[in-house]
Structure 1
Amino acid sequence: MVTDKGARTSGRLVESMLELIQARGYSGTGLTTVTEHARAPKGSLYFHFPEGKEALGEKAVELAADQFRGLVTEMVAEAVSPGDVLRRVVDVLIGILDGSDFRLGCPVSVVTLEMGAHSERLRTACAAAFESWIGPMTEHLAGRGHTPPAARALATTVVSGLEGAVIVSRARRDVQALRDAAQVLGGLLDQPPAKETP
């Protein structure tokens, strides 16, 4: 049985793993570093995550997915159009990159690139994370009149474009790729749905 204290310790370990993946990558994050960063007893990691690093990485990916989904949900409530939502999200991403001197990126893409071919567990977690962003966006766009296939294609393109723009921005140490993505993809989102041909 996990106590409140145990739940807090487990939560700190997951949060630390997520932060370290963002800054160092999955492969560059050792479990000793995670426990030190979380200020948790060394034995607590295997107590809460007996399956080791992959289990902890999986939870970190799930946390990242939840955080980004929460951000988008918040922006949807404030924005006037789908393109406005995207531009607001990009502003937050630019703030994260600038504020971290380009050290922090999307942990889901980091884990996908590093471990997608080596760990089915982590690949599946990353695929589920991307789907947790694409799915609700698809529903939102379908609710605005896009056909389900068109809504799905557009949502997938937006998520893929943002992920690529974050990577390019980190490589260049410049956020122009994200600004370009906001302009181009935001314009696509704000276009009226295409009419179906009879």
Structure 2
Amino acid sequence: MATKGELTKTRLVDSMLELIQSRGYAGTGLIAVAEHARAPKGSLYFHFPDGKEALGVAAVDRAADQFHELITAAARDEPTAGGVVRRVVEALAALLEASDFQLGCPVSVVTLEMGADSDLLRQSCAAAFESWISPVAELLVEHGRSDDDARGLATTLVSTVEGASIISRAQRSVVPLLRAGQVLSGLVDAR
């Protein structure tokens, strides 16, 4: 069972993640995070003595873990690589719709806003993207692709889904994301 301190830290990270998704990294202040998490400001500095940057890294890491879990769960349940792609894209489309297109990928947001200013955040974002590319590449190898082909295709898949998610938010429609998923699904299953 988690301690009170661990629960508070989790709430802070979850709040930072949600606020980054809706307001961006630059638009998310520590006071807003503490209020959103219903935590005293002092606990924020206790758990994250290095401040906003450290909390941002924790939020990016949490987002990376969540998306990695989505990929691995889809891979367990789907018999084809294209099926995995479809399931992941459909889940992302559902999240976009459920948030009324307010919540985007926090890793993309942090990369775009802070990648040039904070090497720590840039590295965290790079690691997050890699944590998504690697399991997709492994899945493609399991389905008969060479290592090089799988790596290139996995990078393309993640990049395309990220871009399609941004377009979907801009258009307030999941159609771009779902269309990208259809094309990607066919691409990975084609021989």
Long gaps (5+) in structure 2: none
1:179 corresponds to 2:178:
yes
After superposition, what is the alpha-carbon deviation per residue over 1:61-95, rounded to whole angstroms, capped at 9, x for unaligned?
00000001111111111112111111111111111
* Distance in 1, Cα, partners of 2:174 & 2:82: 18
* Distance in 2, Cα, partners of 1:175 & 1:145: 31
Secondary structure of 1:118's partner? Answer: coil
* Matched ranges for 1:145-156 at <5 A: 145-156=144-155
1:8 maps to 7
Provide TM-score, normalisation by structure 2: 0.97
After superposition, what is the alpha-carbon deviation per residue over 1:141-172, rounded to whole angstroms, capped at 9, x for unaligned?
11222111100000000000000000011111
2:26 alignment partner AA: S
1:75 maps to 74
1:138 alignment partner AA: A
Shift of 1:13: 0.4
Aligned CA-pair RMSD? 1.0
Shift of 1:8: 1.1
* Distance in 1, Cα, partners of 2:94 & 2:145: 31
| Number of residue-to-residue matches in the alignment | 190
Structure number with larger C-alpha Rg: 1
4+ runs of 1 displaced by more than 6 Å? none
* Distance in 2, Cα, partners of 1:74 & 1:143: 16
* Distance in 1, Cα, partners of 2:178 & 2:55: 33
2:40 maps to 41
2:105 maps to 106
2:131 maps to 132
1:69 alignment partner AA: H
* Distance in 1, Cα, partners of 2:135 & 2:17: 23
After superposition, what is the alpha-carbon deviation per residue over 1:167-191, rounded to whole angstroms, capped at 9, x for unaligned?
0111111111111111111111111
1:93 maps to 92
* Distance in 1, Cα, partners of 2:145 & 2:90: 26
* Distance in 2, Cα, partners of 1:20 & 1:46: 18
1:31 corresponds to 2:23:
no
Question: Aligned residues: percent identity?
Answer: 62
1:187 alignment partner AA: G
1:16 alignment partner AA: S
Provide TM-score, normalisation by structure 1: 0.93
2:142 alignment partner AA: G
Shift of 1:97: 1.1
Long gaps (5+) in structure 1: 193-198
